[in-house]
Structure formats: structure tokens, C-alpha cells
Structure 1
């Protein structure tokens, strides 16, 4: 196990104990020697962790300590890099630029060994297929979701029928070939999914819709789960 991973695991283990825990028990939990445990506790203390106790007395972590952002495990760092590379390759211009900037900012505060892992990371994202007609409106859709604002637009459905819609957008799904706006549709009085490339005449009303997006998302997810459960029951 990498040392950074071990430090994180020690921190998480200490948080599980509400009373002082002996070094021998911690060493057993982490499958390390007592000498390694003492060294890792010293490292955490040097980074500001308020760990009370001494050998033979037990150790206890006082609440409120957070590791600095530079302390990522190897798996966390790989997940972070893979995710940001996907966004950089498939997000709209502003989102792709933000992903690249985020990696650069994180890399700047990492210690040299972890920074080298970013530069040498071998998890790659395949070429993105061109998705036409999205770049201009995706940023506006994201902002409307973030601000919980009502949108109006024309929508062309799969049968070629065009209709005017007024919606409460609360999520935006990113797929390889399409982007899908998830919203409560005032026109249909129900949840609806809208392909971004079929939206036209987009108008930002500047009006905040009457419900919170978290509540809408929760209700939508419950509907999706119920639908999946019913489909599974029908097929059994």
C-alpha cells in the first residue's frame, strides 16, 4: 500500500473510535508494524491533526481535522484525472476549459510524487465523436439548472412534431452522442427528457421556478426506480 493511502486509512480508522485506542489495535487494524504506525501518527500531527495520546496510553483524534487537498490516494487521483479528461474531451468549451484548469490547479499544490503521477498517468480517454448543434446552448442549459430558472424553447420530438415547451430544468445528462435535459414540463405537467440537439429558440426567462431542484431530482429518481422495479416484476 502506498504511504499516502496508508495515511488516509489511518485517519479514517482513528475517526471510527470514539474513545482512545491502543497503538497495537491500530497497527492490527491497518496491518502495519507499531514502528510504522508511530511514524504515520507523527506525519498526521505534523500536518495539523490533533491526535491526543502516547504509546501505552492509546490515541484519539479530535474532531474537525481535514487533510489538505494534496492528500489523495492513488485510486482517488486516478479517478480524478480520468474524470477530468473525459470532461475535457466531451464537455462544451467552457466546461472542457474548466476541467483542464482544475487539473492544473490541483497539480500545482500536490507534492512532487503525486504531481508526477498526474503527468505520467496512463488512463486515457478515447476520441470523442462530434456532437453537432450543442456548444452554444449547453452552457445556458447548465446555468439554468444551477440557478433553478425556468426555460422556454421549441422542441422537435422523434416523430418530427414541433411543440412549445416551458420547463423547470434540474439535471443535464451527458452521454457519448447526446446530451439530455431532465426537467419538469409545465406543458405536459410531468417529468420529461429533452435531447439538447432537438431544442431550438431557447429563451431564458430569468424566473426562478417554484420548487427546489434537489426535491425535483429526488422525485424523478424515485419515479425512475419505481419504473425499473415494475419492469423487472413484469418480466419475471
Structure 2
């Protein structure tokens, strides 16, 4: 790897992490020695790249730093195309079209040398017909998550029982065969998973969730960690 490319990738590693990254972790990803990392970090700091931290503690990129956009490598371009292909095959029409639009926008602005990696990528997604059979539009669910609003669901259980649930949506998860809404359920007073193909209706409520921004997501992360710990101990 050229030194210029290595310095760029080092910045990318720091940019994608919100916590300090150790020299050992950076060295492992870049396949260089820790001494090289220390030297590269010192060079970047000398060029006024706002990196804070120290050896033994780790390094962070301070907020506000910017680099020229769309400086992609071939691997990065192909990873975007691969992800967009998966999204286009496994999501609703709005998000599928958005994924295709992203690829088109990238193709219009990347250097000519990178366009073949978009037009003829070396990786691809196998087409599948196992998309969930939904009777609702999931757009209101995404709207509620983005705006921090409650949802009212008409939901059919696996046994066929239909209930009305008011939930606080956290995230909409996608898999090969189903989509799951993770939400705090007011009825059960706990986090629950709701399959979108069992939803008969999903309406955004006028009331907002009475929590600070990010608090619901933090509570879900704590709940998920506790669930993983319980399953681990059960084994």
C-alpha cells in the first residue's frame, strides 16, 4: 500500500470509530507495525489533522475534520454496489429505488477509472423470491423511527390472535426472508420484535415519545446486551 493511501485509510479508520482506536488495532487493519502507525499519526498531526490521543491509550479524530468527498477505492465502490443490490432485492419500492439512485449518483461523480467497478462489479447478489408477503406500507414505520413518534399496530400473532399495540419503534431490521420492527411495547412493558408480514395496519400516532434523543436506542442496546448475556449463561 502506498504511503499516501495508508494515511488516507488511517484517517478513515479513525473517522468510523467514535471511541479511541489503539495503535495495535490500526496496525492490524493496515498490516503494518505499531511503530509505523505512531510515525504516520505524528505526520498527520504535523499536517494539522485534528487527531487526539497518545500511545497506549488510543487515537480519535476530532469533530469537524473534512476530506474531499468520494475518494473511494475499488473495494469501497464494489462494497457500495453490493450493498445497494441487496437492498434493492429485499426492501420496499421506495428504499429499493433510493439504493439504485445512490449508485447512479456515485457513478456520475467518481473518476473514470472507478466506473468499471460500478458497471461490472466482481461481486453480486443472487436474486431471490423469498421477500415477505406484507399487506402494509412500511414507509410510516421509517417515518415514526426518524421523527421519534409512537406507532399503533394492528398485529396478528403466530397463533392468529389480533391485538392493537402502541409501540415506540427503535429500528426496522431486514433479513433474507422477513423484516422485524424492534420496539418498546406499551402493552407488554418491554422490548418486542414485530414481523411486518403480520401487521394488518401501522399508523403513526400524533404523540411523540417522551424521551430525550437517543435515549430509546440506548435502552434497547442495554436490553439487547442483557438478553445476549442471559442466552450465554443458559448455554
State TM-score, norm by structure 1. 0.73
Q: Which runs of 4+ in 1 moved over 6 A?
A: none
Larger radius of gyration: 1
1:228 aligns with 2:228: yes
Cα offset, 1:105, TM superposition:
0.7
Q: Which ranges in structure 1 are unaligned for 5 or more consecutive residues?
A: 17-27, 31-40, 42-50, 53-58
CA, structure 1 residues 205+11, in 2 after alignment: closer, same or farther (shift >3 Å)?
closer
Cα offset, 1:146, TM superposition:
1.1
Distance 1:99 1:86 in 2: 9
Cα offset, 1:132, TM superposition:
4.4
Q: Which ranges in structure 2 are unaligned for 5 or more consecutive residues?
A: 16-20, 22-34, 38-42, 51-63
Distance 2:10 2:187 in 1: 54
Contact in 1 for aligned 2:135/2:199 (Cα 8 Å): no
Contact in 1 for aligned 2:154/2:165 (Cα 8 Å): yes
Deviation per CA, 1:123-175, whole angstroms, max 9, x where unpaired?
A: 10111324344374211211111111111121111122111111111110101
Contact in 1 for aligned 2:84/2:100 (Cα 8 Å): yes
Distance 2:2 2:122 in 1: 18
Partner of 1:115, secondary structure, is helix
CA, structure 1 residues 189+67, in 2 after alignment: closer, same or farther (shift >3 Å)?
same
User: What is the Cα-based RMSD across aligned positions, in Å?
Assistant: 3.0
CA, structure 1 residues 113+233, in 2 after alignment: closer, same or farther (shift >3 Å)?
same
Partner of 2:138, secondary structure, is helix
- Deviates most, 59-68 or 166-175: 59-68
CA, structure 1 residues 233+112, in 2 after alignment: closer, same or farther (shift >3 Å)?
same
State TM-score, norm by structure 2. 0.73
Counterpart position of 1:29: 36
